[in-house]
Amino acid sequence: MPAPTRLRATLSETLGGLPRQFWWLWTSTLVNRLGGFVVTFLALYLTVDRGYPPSYAGLVAGLFGLGSAIAALGGGVLADRLGRRPTLVAAQLATAASTAVLGFVDGPVAIAVVAFLVGLAGNASRPAISAMIADLVPAEDRVRAYALNYWAINIGFGVSAAAAGLIAAHGYLLLFLLDAFSTLVCALVVFVRIPETRPERSAAARAEPQPGLGRVFRDGRFMALVAVNLLLAVVVQQGSTTLAVDMGAAGISTTGYGLVIGLNGLLIVLLQLPMGRLMEGRDRTALLVVSALLTGWGFGLTALAGSSAGFFAFTVAVWTIGEIMAAPIMMGLVAEFAPAEARGRYQGVYSLSWSLAAFLGPAAGGYLLEHAGSAAVWVSCGVCGTAAAAGFLLIGRPAAAADQVAEAATAGQPAGEPAGQPAPAVAP
């Protein structure tokens, strides 16, 4: 097959067959992330522009994460009760307003309070978006759809991180205002082009009380997956907080940090789709184990970077490959676990692990950096990645055993336990 024909066939398989509403949601995500300057540069803004110590920058980032954690659960419940669309539009409008205010406030208390509100408003949209994708896209295409959405996030992140470093050199206020404007545009796209996607409940289902958060927290296998993700997410959070401060202490400029961290988004843009095709049909547990080790020890290698921007860029490339491997698999697993009437809640609890990491990661990283030195931060990241890999292995073992029981029952062979419908598993 000629190369152009093969390329067209590959693009058709990767991009084709998804609903039009999904592509509008994809577009709104891209627009939002193209202007997503504030979170990436918040630590540098506080330490370089405002002169606060790293511990305060970690505290503010932690409060942002605390707001995100509260919003993860609240946004998930609202997405199930009120609907995905109104939850998403309201959250984006509130995010735009609070982001603009953050650019103007002064004083440590005011900055901390508004940063908390930005986190609260911003993360309320995350469960709604993830639930919308699960509503719109058939089960067999969801991992591909989540990968494409993640691709959009990182196209925007890569461009915004590189551009923000240049814009910040002329003042940070413009970053806050552009971020707020892009979020407003995103809300407008959702309001105009995307209808409500929440599935209608049957008459029998409406007669029963809607499942609450307790059902999610009692789902042991799902919560184990969330706990392992939390551990790994604490490591990933160092990329937008502790890494920025450490690179600044090493004498690397704001523009240099923007270009280095922008490599994360650039590599995801270039590699997400081809790596997704390479991972198709492979053991999900093995992929998650490898991704955890690459993520943890990619950050761990930062201990050897010294003042070399090139070596910092190399470490970003290592942990980015781990990120590319894990993200769509994890999102697909969450969608498998969640019943249709509780998709918002399941996505909210999964998002909670990222939000808690956004609270714990910067605070822990800032404290270690200030009191134990950068080497302690990065070696700890490697240890956490190793522990997460072990966690994926432990979760995957019973999953593989459940699949063997199901296969034996289907074949009519005796098995140690009665056959049944296996729960969604980390292993395929």
**pLDDT on residue 10:** 58
Could you give the CA distance from residue 44 to residue 65 in angstroms, rounded to a whole number?
17
Which percentage of the chain shows pLDDT scores above 90?
19
Q: Furthest-apart CA pair in the chain: how many Å?
A: 72
Distance CA 84, CA 77 (A): 10
What is the per-residue pLDDT across 370-425, written as a single tens digit (0 to 9) for each? Answer: 888 888 889 999 999 999 999 999 887 765 554 554 444 444 444 443 333 334 44
What is the reported pLDDT for 1?
A: 53
Q: For the chain, what are the domain ranges?
A: 19-196+215-410
Q: What top-level class would CATH report for the domain 19-196+215-410? A: mainly alpha
Confidence (pLDDT) at 415: 42
DSSP for 163-227 reads: HHHHHHTT-SHHHHHHHHHHHHHHHHHHHHH----PPPPPHHHHHSPPP-HHHHHT-HHHHHHHH
Higher-confidence residue of 404 and 24: namely 24
Tens digit of each residue's pLDDT (9 = 90 or more) over 334-354: 888 877 778 888 888 888 888
Confidence (pTM): 0.72
What pLDDT score does 417 carry?
39
**What's the rounded mean pLDDT across residues 30-36?**
79
Sign of CA dihedral 158, 163, 166, 168: negative
Taking the C-alpha atoms of residue 64 and residue 362, their distance in angstroms, rounded to an integer, is 10
Mean pLDDT for the stretch of residues 30-40: 77
**Amino acid occupying residue 58:** G
pLDDT at 229: 93
On the question of pLDDT at 107 being above 50, the answer is yes
Q: Is the pLDDT of residue 124 over 80?
A: yes
Confidence of residue 201 (pLDDT cuts 50, 70, 90): low
Angle at 124 between CA 121 and CA 128, to 5 degrees: 145
Q: Are 183 and 177 in contact (CB under 8 A)?
A: no
* pLDDT for position 381: 93
